């Protein structure tokens, strides 16, 4: 095989969300949108960008998480009061954030979920538990019918994050988990039977949350995520070996 093959990189297709962020960046850098300016309504932005409102909402959520936009329920969404230079650099970092680094996403999710479930065990309400239980019931119904329960799986994990009563943890989960769970399920990274095997694991997590046992909740979540976490560790190990081989 010719050596140049090793230098070829996969073509990256930019997502609608990143395209929206890139256009907003250009408006800010050019001075058309200044720090403190109010953005048009979601519906208006969606029409201008020619995309669904869900893409606009995801872009705004992402930029809010990084502190580049701020939203007031009463008055709308505004550009942060940071300087143009800071906004320019931060927006570039957000656009270049590599969601395709599967191993990094898995590792980040693993540690985030262990923290979230531990805090949730201390702060969850009866309403939270009922909501999580309903998500699990819906997940099990779909999986037992041989259907893909990715949305219900995602919902269960988001509800755990919401139960922490910490909006930053919830926002981080909303950014990391959707693409990751979807990729894991669609590509069957953990095998064909992963959906069925997850049922008792989910139930063990919920039981620990019901009992308010943070240690048991963290252990149950670690068991649930262990298989995919080991895949991540193996991926990092393979990358390191390749790096060392190239440096020889």
C-alpha gyration radius of the chain: 21
To the nearest whole percent, how much of the chain has pLDDT over 90? 29
Burial of 231 (0-12, 13-18, 19+ CB in 10 A): middle
The pLDDT tens digits of the residues spanning 48-64 come to: 989 988 888 888 887 77
> Which residues of the chain form beta strands (DSSP E)?
69-72, 76-79
Instruction: Give the mean model confidence (pLDDT) for residues 30-45.
Output: 87
CA distance 63 to 45: 15
User: 6 falls in which pLDDT band (50, 70, 90)?
Assistant: very low
Higher pLDDT, 207 or 174: 207
pLDDT at 191: 56
Alpha helix stretches (DSSP H) within 30-149: 42-49, 53-65, 84-96, 102-123, 126-144
For 103-135, the pLDDT digits (tens) are 777 788 889 999 999 999 999 999 999 999 999
The values of phi and psi at residue 72, to 5°, are -115, 125
Helix (H, G, I), strand (E, B) or coil at 164: coil
Is the full-model pTM beyond 0.75? no
> In this model, does residue 93 exceed pLDDT 60?
no
Q: How far apart are CA 160 and CA 156, in angstroms?
A: 6
Closest CA to 60 of 86, 75, 84, 41: 41
């Amino acid at each position: 095989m010719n050596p140049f093959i090793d230098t070829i990189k996969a073509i990256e297709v930019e997502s609608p969300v990143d395209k929206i962020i890139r256009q907003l960046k250009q408006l800010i850098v050019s001075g058309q949108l200044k720090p403190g300016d109010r953005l048009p309504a979601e519906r208006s932005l969606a029409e201008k960008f020619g995309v669904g409102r869900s893409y606009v909402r995801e872009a705004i959520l992402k930029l809010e998480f990084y502190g580049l936009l701020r939203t007031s329920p009463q008055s709308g969404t505004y550009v942060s009061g940071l300087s143009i230079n800071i906004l320019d650099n931060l927006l570039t970092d957000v656009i270049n954030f590599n969601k395709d680094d599967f191993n990094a996403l898995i590792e980040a999710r693993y540690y985030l979920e262990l923290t979230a479930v531990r805090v949730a065990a201390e702060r969850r309400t009866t309403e939270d538990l009922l909501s999580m239980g309903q998500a699990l019931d819906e997940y099990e119904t779909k999986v037992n019918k041989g259907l893909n329960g990715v949305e219900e799986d995602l919902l269960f994990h988001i509800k755990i994050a919401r139960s922490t009563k910490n909006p930053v943890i919830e926002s981080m989960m909303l950014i990391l988990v959707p693409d990751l769970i979807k990729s894991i399920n669609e590509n069957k990274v953990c095998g064909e039977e992963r959906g069925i095997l997850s049922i008792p694991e989910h139930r063990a997590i919920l039981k620990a949350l019901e009992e308010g046992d943070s240690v048991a909740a963290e252990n149950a979540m670690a068991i649930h995520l262990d298989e995919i976490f080991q895949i991540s560790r193996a991926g990092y190990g393979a990358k390191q070996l390749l790096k060392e081989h190239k440096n020889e």
